Structures are given as C-alpha cells and as structure tokens.
Amino acid sequence: MSLSEFLTIIKNSSFNILEIYQKAPNETLIILGVILVIVLVAYFYLNSLIKRKKILKVIETIKSSKSFDDFDKKIKILVDEVPKRGEEVANALNGSKEHILFRGSKLLSSLNINKKIDSYINLSKNFKQLSEGSKKYNNTELTQFFENKAEELLKKNLIIDIKYYCENADFNINELENINAIVSYANTLLDPNVVLDIMKKELDRFSFGHNCDLFKLIEVLDEKKSKQIFQYCQEKLKNIFENGEYEVSITILEYLLESNQNQKVYDYISTLKLPNYLQQLYNIFFDKKDDIKLDLAFIANPLQIENQYKKYIDESLTNNWKDKEYIEFVSKSKGVIDVLGHVEFRTLIERVDNIALNKENSKKIEEALTIAKRAESIALEAKSLNERSISINRLNDTNK
C-alpha cells in the first residue's frame, strides 16, 4: 500500500484507529511502533535531561553543604551518576573539583578523630570511584585529580590530623575510644608504626609516674583493642614501679590504696631506691593508714632514713602481745630483725613460743578440768543411785 493510499484511509476513517487497523493492519502497526519509539526517545531524553540538571545542581550545592553527612550523601550521588550523565556533567565536576575538596576538608575538620578516621576512609573510597567513573570522558585532569586526592586523604591529610590530635590530647579516660580507633586504623596499614610512633612520642610528653589521669586511662586500655599502645604503656608502668629509680606520685599511690591495689604500693615502697622520696612517703604514709603491711613495706626497704621503726614495732607488739599469729607475721617480715637486733628478735621468738606453750598448757588444763568435772558428775550420779538402792532395801525390810 502506497503512502497516499494509507493517508486516504486515515482521512476517510476520521482517525479511528480500529478502522484504520482493519483496513491497513501492517502499516498501522508500523506507524504505532514509530510513534512509540519517538515517545520513548522523548521520555528518556527528558528524563536524562532532568537527571543531568539534578546532578549539575548537586555539583553546585555540594560546595555549600552544612554537615559532613550531607556532603557525603551528595558525593555518593555523584559517584553513581557521573558515569551516566555525559561530558557536560564531567566538565562541571572538573570545574568544581577544588571547591568540593575544600568543602569536604572543612567539614572533616570539625569531627572528632574517631569519626574523622571513618570519614576519611569513606571519602577516599568515593574519590577513587569518581576517578574511575570519569575515565570514559577522557578528561585526564578530572580523573587524575580525584585519583591523587584519594591517596593524599589517607597518606597525608589523615596522618596530619592524627598527629594534631595526639599533640593536643590530654590522654585521660575520655580518650579511650579515640585511641582504640587510631590503633585499629594503624593496624590496617602496611607499616602501623607510621601512626603508632606518633602516639607513643606524644604519650612520652606526660609523666607516667605523676599523671593520675594517664594512669587511669592505661588501666582501662584493652589489650585486644589497644594492642601495641596497651603493651607500650604497660611496659612503661612496669619499669617505673619495679625499677626503683622513679618517683610515683602520692596521688597515684593514694588512688591505688583506695582502689584496693595495695600490693602494688607495698612492692613499690619496699624496693624504692630514692632515699629523699622514701623519706617523703614515710612522712605521709607510715603509721597513718592503719595498714600493717604498708608500714612493714617501709621497714623492708634497706635505705637509711629518719624513722621510728623500732618504736612502732615495740608498740605494735605490745598492743598485740597475746596474738600469736600477729607476732609471727611481724617477726617474719623483711627488715624487722635488722630493726630489733638479734637479741630482741630472739626475745620476740621466745614470746611466740611462750604464747604457744601457754596456749597448749591452757588447753591441757581445760581438758583436765573437763575430765574432772565429768568424773565428778559420774561420781555424784553413782552416789545417788547407791543411796536410792539402800532406801529401797530398808522399805522392803519394814514391809516384812
């Protein structure tokens, strides 16, 4: 059927589709198909145009994002849409790339280090994807920019921020999660010490023996989460407490006593090699805490300082002269024999022996008294039975 014939059919049918289809089915389907294609092309074009306009708007508004979450959401939209929306979008992104980087960096700066680490990692990942997605447009400047910045965010910017955090942190118990986050990130790197050495250096700005806040932080560090920093801090504290050449502040020692970590204080005082500081601790703690083990820790230390050790031991033993266990404990404590001398120490041992002997004698006397009382009771009972038997016999004789 010629075109003119088909047009005549359309005209005569008053544009009735069914009538046209009955008279020229093939031609009708072709025309409808063409119309459908045109409609679909128009739809996809308009839809693409609308989406392109939206992405261009995202590129424009991302530069004024008010929060990093909003910025991150828009970056993800760009990651998804840039590869699909043509060179116009790629060119617009290229023109705004520096502003986008600046805005992202600005918003990142307001986050705490814990959140900042995750945000840097995500932003680097998104920049890497933008670089990959823009390669199809052969825009080397755009592709190379986001590829380079994806790397710089982690290798340069994040390291700088971690260093800044470490330089300004107070390292108290409130920093626990931040420390764990830094250690966790460090252990994702080929060389964790790139990050960990920064923290160790800044930790060394503080006195492990005097800063009680740092001491409390170290107490709550978890070996699984803090790993190398936990080990580093534990080794520092162990050296300070066991070396004998370092001062541990009175505040920390008081804290240990109050938190029932007394043995650590006893061990520290008994091995301290600083006579002036031992004297200071003696003046503050000795015979002031009602803690015999604390007082004996001073006596166990061989350093010569001004003291009242002998008077203390004499009074202590006098007040507890009947307590064998107490006297034995004191007599076996390190340094007591040096304070009392061998003669008085032998007297002390004799006292322990006498107490033991007296206790043994007292026990035997008590046992003898118990036996005697029991024997007396049995005798009285037998006498009573005998008297009752005599009375019964007499009664029987009378009845006869």
The predicted-structure confidence for 211-237, as pLDDT tens digits, reads as follows: 999 999 999 999 999 999 999 999 999
* Residue 80: per-residue pLDDT: 87
- Can you tell me which residue has the tokens 């006869």? 400
Least confident of 164-173, 197-206, 380-389: 380-389
Give residue 361's pLDDT: 47
Reply yes or no on whether the pLDDT at 307 is more than 60: yes
pTM here is 0.73
Q: Is the dihedral angle over the CA atoms 186, 188, 192, 195 positive or is it negative?
A: negative
Calculate the CA 26 to chain-centre distance: 77
Question: Would the pLDDT of 90 be above 90?
Answer: no
Dihedral of the alpha carbons of 144, 150, 151, 152, in degrees to the nearest 10: 100
Q: What is the pLDDT of residues 329-365, one digit of tens each?
A: 888 889 888 887 766 656 666 655 565 455 554 454 4
The pLDDT value given to residue 338: 86
Alpha helices by DSSP H, listed for the chain, are 3-12, 17-23, 25-61, 68-81, 86-108, 113-133, 140-152, 158-168, 176-186, 193-203, 212-220, 223-243, 250-258, 262-271, 275-285, 292-300, 309-319, 324-332, 336-399
Q: How does residue 82 score in pLDDT terms, banded at 50, 70 and 90?
A: confident
Whether residue 35 has pLDDT greater than 60: no
- Of the two residues 130 and 372, the one the predictor is more confident about is 130
Structure-token match 């005998």, residue found: 386
Least reliable range by pLDDT among 118-132, 190-204, 215-229, 335-349:
335-349
Q: What is the pLDDT of residue 364?
A: 45
Contact (Cβ atoms closer than 8 angstroms) between residue 221 and residue 230: yes
Contacts of 139 (CB under 8 A, 6+ apart): 87, 90, 91, 94
Rounded average pLDDT over 243-270:
95
Residue given tokens 């004499």 in the structure block: 314
* Residue whose tokens read 């061990």: 267
The tokens describing 240, both together, are 């300070």
**Average pLDDT of the residues in 120-146:** 92
- What are the tokens at 62? 């991302």
Average pLDDT over the chain, rounded to whole? 82
pLDDT at 30 (0 to 100): 56
Q: What angle do CA 35, 38, 44 make, to 5 degrees?
A: 140
Task: Give the rounded distance of the alpha carbon of 187 from its chain centre.
Answer: 16
What is the percentage of the chain residues whose pLDDT exceeds 70? Answer: 72
- Which residues have a Cβ under 8 Å from the Cβ of 292 and sit 6 or more positions away? 316, 329, 330
